[in-house]
Structure 1
Amino acid sequence: MKKGFSIIWIFAFLLFTPLILFAQGKMESGEESGNKEKKVDIALLPVIAANPTVGVLFGVLPGLNWNMGNEADTRNSTALIGLYYTTLNQLFTSVRANAFTKEDKFNLLTDIRFNLNAQPTYGLGSVLDRSTLVGGEDIPSDNPYPPFQQQEMMYFNNFRLYQTVQMRHKQSNLFYGIGYHLDIFWAIDDKMLDLDASPQRITHHYRYQDIKGINTEKYSQSGLSANATFDSRDNVVNPYEGHLAAFSFRAFPEFLGSTTNASQLWMEYRTYVNLDRTRPRNVLAFWTYGWFVTSGTSPYLALPALGWDMFARSGRPYTQGRIRGEDLVYGEAEWRFPLQKTKDKWGGVLFLNTTTASSRTENINAFSNFVFGYGGGLRFMINEKKRVNLGLDYGFGANGAQGLFVNLNEYF
């Protein structure tokens, strides 16, 4: 779900967990299914959240797990559907799915979002101890900007449609194919921008867009991608072993509807190390990705940013978009372990992550500054056969960042 919400859902967790288990038990019942093997699992998680950005948020997070063939030769598919509305008239909707057809002949990746959004931005690069807005003709000599990164609230509407289709190479774990990627941002309201003030109040978003000659109120990216994925994980939603390596090169030409010509590269790797063969849930998990603008110019909100990965899972405990830049590299390690001697219902996690990002506009290099986050959480396995977890995590980060996070399935 969206990062940065202060989740007030512990009572909902205790109240609705029986409802989730009841719904799943009904689907598994022989009276309902005719004693046939269940094809679809549905977990329904109510969400209540509150913070100054959204007011009070109400929503639901359904999670779906299903199999399009036989479990002996077809991987399980998963989807998360989010629907949230806030007392400040904000709307967040999403459908994100990783699906495998019969015998794994095709892998389908879907990411659809429609948001009436409110989100802070802090500028480009992973330098948190100073403002990254540098001088220039439009920056007054009596510079009003603080010597540190300051939150700049932005309101905007966003529609995303990402669809990738990959074909399996023979009977291997290699998939390759093409995709279409569309992001539209409009009704952008840069709350901190004040061009009529004396001196003017210039924001990072306005400064970047002005330098690049891009409209500050609306823009889009639309393009095609070439993709390859190696996936040997034993389970998509909660792996105990295996590897994932993914590559996606995306071209956004103006003739396909992009505001500017640009290309981006996404590279990702995950691996899982089992620590105890007698308790496979005792796992060290590692995740890293790099996301780069490789040519041209991407608009500000379409730049690589923390928490804007497909399932919005990177960057606990930071708000979505807290770190942004033309180049962004992320790494995370997580220890997942059981909390019961012989059962797998309850588990725990400890995690540590780091992010670095560049700002070519402000001459900030990637790998020159790293931002860290750490924390831990609880897991409750609501479906042991398919390893579907309900998670509650708390994280801490730089400059007092902290947050409580709820999720279905593992973070990676």
Structure 2
Amino acid sequence: MKKQFVILFFCYFLFESNSYSQDSVTYKPNQIREFKLIPLPAIGSNPANGWLFGLAPSATWRMGTKETTHLSNLVGNFLYTTKKQWIFSSRSNVFLSEDKWVLVGDWRYFITSQPTFGLGASSPNVPEENPNQSGVYWGEQQMDYTWFRFYETVLKRISDSKFYIGAGYHLDKFSKITNFLNDEINPDFTFSHDFYNDQLGFDLEKYTLSGITLNAVMENRDVAVSPYEKNFALISYKINPEFLGSDQSSSTLLLDYRHYFNLNNQRKRHLLALWGYGNFLVSGNLPYMSLPSIGYDMFGRSGRGYAQGRFRGESMIYSEVEYRFPLQKEKDTFGGTLFFNASSFGSKMTQEKLMEKINAAYGIGLRVMINKENRTTISADYGFGRKGNSGFYLNINESF
């Protein structure tokens, strides 16, 4: 744990030195521009958490001129849920003056619970014995746990281009893990989580993943929280060595691409949005809750139509298309959306190959823009998945 605190301090020091270096005087705190804070009382909903209540402050600001610097944004959550969960998080994209540096943060502390269904894309809704693993549960199994996350990435712009390269430190600590069933089928069966971790030598109640990422980014969106046009791409290779605190050494590859096609130059809110996402275990082993899973992107927006964590495996491919449109002739206050997504998971332990099984979902949504200048939006969606899976999602800003 001492190693990880040293790394956290180093990340903080690096942030401070970038913010106040000699060639960065344009983004000192007293020159922050266009700062807007919306301290929203929060009411949200999704299948994994139920209804959420609390505060969800959203802030935007600019660290340079409008012509040369993107809007920075931060979204916080201080929430309690109807499933007796506590959720504290802060996620940010900070563009320094002239977009020369970008700081990406994802900090979380959850005292939470979640159903897990086993590995692969074929797991059923209700618990039963896994046909590929005798005596192991498959289907919905409840899990209580505590989760601490600290992700911070520093990216440097390449000349005057839209491309950035950089590195980050990523820490996930899961603890106090308890598995249970609401209606136990067979007391001698083993939970999917426990079977997987036991087979690969991980602790059943706590584990740590601590690593460094090497990142390449293309940031070409007009506004990151609610884009109207252009595109975004990310390649992130993560190395999780034991000497940084990981229980076992491993490496992963994350690919993320988003494109926004404007359909009407006079109504920028009328557009088609595309999202492609892949997450792959490259080497070594990951503990169960650190495996690629639906709904575990930075803002937890993938897989509408399914609960977070509904599908999980060593490899994951996800895609989504969303049609966004205004609901008023001249104003942009109200908008709507239609979406369709599909995902596939591979698992070595269950011998399921990637693309062997595809789970699709579709849905409809309403958008209410509460701040036109920075495009802060309340989004309400209802998604329908396969085999009776569905869910209502109430959030801040667009899904992607």
The reply to whether TM is greater than 0.5 is yes
For 1:380-399, list aligned pairs within 5 A: 380-399=368-387
The 3 A distance-change label for structure 1 pair 396 and 38 is same
Q: Give the corresponding residue for 1:270.
A: 258
Deviations for 1:23-49, whole angstroms, at most 9, x for unmatched residues? xxxxxxxxxxxxx99622222333346
In the alignment, structure 1 residue 75 sits paired with structure 2 residue 64: no
The 3 A distance-change label for structure 1 pair 379 and 199 is closer
Q: Give the corresponding residue for 1:4.
A: none
Q: Superposition RMSD on alpha carbons, in Å?
A: 2.4
Structure 1 SS opposite 2:387: helix
How far off its partner does 1:93 sit? 0.8
Q: Give the corresponding residue for 2:12.
A: none
For 1:83-232, list aligned pairs within 5 A: 83-86=78-81, 89-129=84-124, 133-134=130-131, 139-140=134-135, 149-192=138-181, 200-232=188-220
Q: Which moved more, 1:108-117 or 1:37-46?
A: 37-46
Deviations for 1:275-295, whole angstroms, at most 9, x for unmatched residues? 111211110000011001100
The 3 A distance-change label for structure 1 pair 52 and 337 is closer
How far off its partner does 1:358 sit? 0.8
Deviations for 1:48-80, whole angstroms, at most 9, x for unmatched residues? 468997686422211111111111100001111
Give the TM-score of the pair, scaled to structure 1.
0.84
Structure 2 SS opposite 1:39: strand
How far off its partner does 1:373 sit? 1.3
Separation of aligned partners in 2, 1:52 and 1:106? 37
Unaligned runs of 5+ in 2: 1-30
Q: Give the corresponding residue for 1:329.
A: 317
For 1:357-396, list aligned pairs within 5 A: 357-396=345-384
Deviations for 1:124-181, whole angstroms, at most 9, x for unmatched residues? 1111459683556xx45xx8x5xxx521000011100000000000111001100000
Structure 2 counterpart of 1:278, which letter?
Answer: Q
In the alignment, structure 1 residue 292 sits paired with structure 2 residue 280: yes
Q: Give the corresponding residue for 1:23.
A: none
| Contact 2:32 2:61 survives alignment (8 Å) | no
Q: Which moved more, 1:390-399 or 1:361-370?
A: 390-399
Q: Give the corresponding residue for 1:255.
A: 243
Separation of aligned partners in 1, 2:205 and 2:283? 23
Deviations for 1:112-131, whole angstroms, at most 9, x for unmatched residues? 00001100000111114596
Structure 2 SS opposite 1:284: strand
Q: How many residues matched?
A: 368
Structure 2 SS opposite 1:45: strand
How far off its partner does 1:211 sit? 1.1
Separation of aligned partners in 1, 2:199 and 2:162? 44
Q: Give the corresponding residue for 2:25.
A: none
Separation of aligned partners in 1, 2:386 and 2:118? 16
How far off its partner does 1:92 sit? 0.8
The 3 A distance-change label for structure 1 pair 69 and 159 is same
Separation of aligned partners in 2, 1:76 and 1:194? 50
How far off its partner does 1:194 sit? 12
Separation of aligned partners in 1, 2:381 and 2:186? 45
Q: Give the corresponding residue for 1:408.
A: 396
Unaligned runs of 5+ in 1: 1-35
Separation of aligned partners in 2, 1:288 and 1:317? 17
| Contact 1:192 1:201 survives alignment (8 Å) | no
Separation of aligned partners in 2, 1:260 and 1:231? 33
Separation of aligned partners in 2, 1:177 and 1:296? 24
In the alignment, structure 1 residue 41 sits paired with structure 2 residue 36: yes
Deviations for 1:177-218, whole angstroms, at most 9, x for unmatched residues? 0000000001110114999x9761211111111111211111
Separation of aligned partners in 2, 1:231 and 1:161? 23
| Contact 1:193 1:202 survives alignment (8 Å) | no
Give the TM-score of the pair, scaled to structure 2.
0.86
Structure 1 counterpart of 2:320, which letter?
Answer: E
Structure 1 counterpart of 2:104, which letter?
Answer: L
The 3 A distance-change label for structure 1 pair 386 and 325 is same
The 3 A distance-change label for structure 1 pair 278 and 97 is same
